[in-house]
Amino acid sequence: MNLYFDIDGVLLTRHKQVPKGARELLDYATQNFNCFWLTTHCRTGANRALEYLSEFYQEDDLLKVAKILPTDWDDSKTEGLDWESDFLWLDDFVFKFEQIELEKRNRLDSLVLVNLDREDELLRILALLKTGYSS
């Protein structure tokens, strides 16, 4: 199964802090899913995620981050999704046109909205991945 990651609002708080559970989530995800970036830091296939996250994450975490592949999209993140595969998409915000595309393809349930204002949000998502979405 593919797992798509946004960065800002998922792996970094709005104050550019590493949220609780991020390291555990990255560890589990990179061991159990085909992981891809779906973030503005990797738009058009360029992979700037490692460079960006290197300011905030420890070196051993960056080894996990380096395993995550970029996607190629221009206007809508949904352009970077592999519609032929099962997937989950972790993001803190999607535009209405992206939501419509997911609905049109009957894949809205593949979107996992992340709200880092909730306590232990990434640990909740990690538990979700472990119980229902692992490979």
Q: Can you give the pLDDT at residue 135?
A: 41
Q: Is the dihedral of CA 90, 17, 63, 71 positive or negative?
A: positive
Q: Assign 47 a pLDDT band (cuts: 50, 70, 90).
A: confident
Tell me which residue range forms the domain holding 19: 2-133
Residue 100 has pLDDT above 80, yes or no: yes
pTM: 0.94
Indicate which CATH number applies to the domain containing 46. Answer: 3.40.50
DSSP bridge partners of 90: 5, 112
Count of structural domains, the chain: 1
Q: Can you give the pLDDT at residue 36?
A: 96
Q: Can you give the pLDDT at residue 43?
A: 85
Question: What percentage of the chain reaches a pLDDT higher than 90?
Answer: 88
Residue 134 has pLDDT above 80, yes or no: no
